[in-house]
C-alpha cells in the first residue's frame, strides 16, 4: 500500500466511538469497526462523515475473502475507521430496517430473498459482495460490485471522501491515483514543474514578477493533493504553459515562515477555528479546503479560489 496507508485525511479524522456488531468466531477477521445502519445514522447526525456499506450474504464465499484480505488490511481498516462510518449489511436479512426515515422489509420468506434496502441501494443488481459509498453531504453515492482487493479499494475511498468526483470520473481519477502513488516514472515529470516557496513569493517588500500566480495549498497527508501535485501540474499538455505564464507557489498551510501580503505580515499561529498559517485564510477568503488553488493577478488581487481536486483535462 506504500504511502497511502499512512496518509489519513486529517480534516475528517476522529475517534470512532461506535458500538460494533458481534459476529461469530467462524467469520473471517476484520479490523474495520463495523456498525449497524441505525448506529451509522446516529453517529452521522453528531458528526457527518461518508458511509461505506458492505453488502454480503452468509453463503457468499468472496464476501468472506474480502473480509479476510481487504478489511483485515491495517492501512485500509484504519483509513475507513477514521474517515467513514462502516456498515456490514446482510443483504438477505429478514429483519425490517430503517434508513433516512424509510423502513425496508424482506422481499420474501425464502432464505435467499433479498431485503428491500439491498434491492434499492444496489439498484436491483444483486451481486455479492457489493460495496456502496455514500457521501450524503455532497449528495453523491457510488457502488462497486464484486470482490475488491486493497489496491482497488484505495482510490474509491479517496475519490468519495475527498470530493474528487466534482471534476473527474472515477476511471480517470483511478488512473491518476495510480500514477501518483505507484508509477515511479511520474517523478521525473512533476520535478520539472518550477515551484516557488511561500517565502520566495511572499517575502517582505516583494516586487511583482509581472506574472499571475497560482498558489497551490496542499499537505502531505491529503491524498487528492498528492494526486493533483503529481499528475495535474505535471501533465505534459499543461506544464510548459504553466511554467511560462504563471508563478507557481507550493504552499503547505503548516508552513512556519513569517509571510507578507499586501503590506501585512502573517504567521502560523494556530487556533481551534483556524489551525493553519494565517495567510491561508486571507488568500482563500476563509473558505478553507484541500486541495485548493488561489489565483492572483500581477497586482496581487485575488481572481479566483478553486477548491478540491481538479483533473488535468478540467484544469
Percent of the chain past pLDDT 70, that is, above it, reads: 91
Residues 249/214, Cβ–Cβ less than 8 Å: yes
pLDDT > 50? residue 10:
no
Reported as a single tens digit per residue, the pLDDT across 208-222 is: 788 999 999 999 999
Q: Write down the pLDDT at residue 23.
A: 42
Domain identity same for 7 and 138: yes
d(CA 161, CA 167): 14
Domain identity same for 241 and 303: yes
Q: Write down the pLDDT at residue 137.
A: 93
pLDDT greater at residue 240 or residue 86: 86
Residue 291: C-alpha distances to residues 135, 183, 244, 280, 309 (Å): 18, 21, 23, 12, 6
Residue 6 DSSP class = G
Mean pLDDT to the nearest integer, 233-262: 94
In a domain, 72, yes or no: yes
pLDDT > 90? residue 148:
yes
Which among 27, 8, 2, 49 is positioned nearest to 219, based on CA atoms?
8
In a domain, 180, yes or no: no
Query: Mean pLDDT lowest for which of 88-97, 236-245, 250-259, 287-296?
Result: 236-245
In a domain, 242, yes or no: yes
In a domain, 173, yes or no: no
Reported as a single tens digit per residue, the pLDDT across 14-31 is: 333 333 333 444 566 789
Domain identity same for 220 and 106: no
Domain identity same for 226 and 120: no
Looking at 161, 179, 209, which one is the last position of a domain? 161
pLDDT > 60? residue 270:
yes
Q: Write down the pLDDT at residue 7.
A: 43
In a domain, 60, yes or no: yes
Reported as a single tens digit per residue, the pLDDT across 27-75 is: 667 899 999 999 999 999 999 999 999 999 999 999 999 999 999 999 9
In a domain, 175, yes or no: no
What's the structural domain count of the chain? Answer: 2
Reported as a single tens digit per residue, the pLDDT across 67-96 is: 999 999 999 999 999 999 999 999 999 999
What residues pair up with 249 in beta bridges, in sequence order? 196, 215
Mean pLDDT to the nearest integer, 292-308: 95
Residues 256/204, Cβ–Cβ less than 8 Å: no
Looking at 114, 142, 161, which one is the last position of a domain? 161
Reported as a single tens digit per residue, the pLDDT across 223-232 is: 999 999 999 9
Domain identity same for 153 and 220: no
pLDDT > 70? residue 198:
yes
pLDDT > 80? residue 1:
no
Kindly compute the dihedral angle of the four CA atoms of residues 280, 297, 191, 165, in this order, to the nearest 10 degrees: 70
d(CA 111, CA 108): 8
Residue 64: C-alpha distances to residues 30, 142, 161, 171, 291 (Å): 10, 22, 25, 26, 36
Using only C-alpha atoms, the chain has a radius of gyration, in whole angstroms, of 22
Question: How much is the mean pLDDT over the chain?
Answer: 90
d(CA 134, CA 89): 14
Domain identity same for 201 and 102: no
Q: Pinpoint the alpha helices (H) of the chain.
A: 37-46, 61-69, 74-83, 116-121, 150-161, 170-182, 186-190, 198-201, 223-227, 236-245, 278-283
Q: Write down the pLDDT at residue 20.
A: 34
Domain identity same for 219 and 88: no
Domain identity same for 80 and 124: yes
Looking at 124, 142, 161, which one is the last position of a domain? 161
In a domain, 132, yes or no: yes
At 105, which CATH number? Answer: 3.40.30.10
Q: Write down the pLDDT at residue 272.
A: 86
Q: Write down the pLDDT at residue 64.
A: 96
Domain identity same for 142 and 220: no
Percent of the chain past pLDDT 90, that is, above it, reads: 83
Domain identity same for 16 and 140: yes
Q: Model-level pTM? A: 0.87
In a domain, 62, yes or no: yes
Domain identity same for 6 and 109: yes
Range of the domain at 78: 2-161
Domain identity same for 202 and 284: yes
Amino acid at each position: 500500500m506504500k504511502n497511502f496507508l499512512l496518509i489519513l485525511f486529517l480534516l475528517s479524522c476522529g475517534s470512532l466511538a461506535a458500538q460494533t456488531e458481534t459476529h461469530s468466531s467462524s467469520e473471517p477477521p476484520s479490523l474495520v469497526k463495523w456498525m449497524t445502519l441505525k448506529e451509522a445514522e446516529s453517529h452521522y447526525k453528531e458528526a457527518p462523515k461518508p458511509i461505506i456499506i458492505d453488502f454480503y450474504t452468509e453463503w457468499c464465499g468472496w464476501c468472506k475473502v474480502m473480509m479476510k484480505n481487504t478489511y483485515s488490511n491495517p492501512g485500509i481498516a484504519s483509513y475507513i475507521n477514521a474517515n467513514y462510518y462502516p456498515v456490514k449489511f446482510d443483504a438477505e436479512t429478514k429483519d425490517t430496517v430503517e434508513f433516512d426515515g424509510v423502513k425496508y422489509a424482506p422481499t420474501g420468506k425464502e432464505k435467499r430473498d433479498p431485503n428491500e434496502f439491498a434491492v434499492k441501494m444496489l439498484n436491483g443488481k444483486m451481486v455479492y459482495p457489493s460495496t456502496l459509498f455514500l457521501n450524503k453531504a455532497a449528495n453523491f453515492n457510488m457502488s462497486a460490485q464484486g470482490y475488491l482487493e486493497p489496491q482497488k479499494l484505495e482510490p474509491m475511498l479517496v475519490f468519495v471522501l475527498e470530493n474528487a468526483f466534482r471534476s473527474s470520473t472515477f476511471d480517470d481519477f483511478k488512473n491518476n491515483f495510480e500514477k501518483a502513488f505507484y508509477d515511479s516514472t511520474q517523478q521525473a515529470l512533476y520535478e520539472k514543474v518550477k515551484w516557488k516557496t511561500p517565502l520566495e513569493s511572499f517575502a517582505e517588500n516583494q516586487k511583482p514578477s509581472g506574472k499571475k500566480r497560482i498558489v497551490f495549498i496542499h499537505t502531505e497527508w491529503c491524498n487528492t493533493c498528492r494526486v493533483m501535485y503529481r499528475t495535474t501540474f505535471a501533465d505534459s499538455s499543461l506544464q510548459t504553459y504553466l511554467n511560462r505564464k504563471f508563478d507557481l507557489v507550493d504552499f503547505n498551510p503548516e508552513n512556519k515562515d513569517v509571510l507578507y501580503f499586501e503590506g501585512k505580515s502573517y504567521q502560523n499561529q494556530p487556533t481551534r477555528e483556524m489551525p493553519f498559517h494565517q495567510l491561508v485564510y486571507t488568500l482563500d477568503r476563509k473558505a478553507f479546503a484541500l486541495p485548493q488553488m488561489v489565483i492572483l493577478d500581477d497586482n496581487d488581487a485575488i481572481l479566483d479560489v478553486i477548491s478540491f481536486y481538479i483533473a488535468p483535462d478540467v484544469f
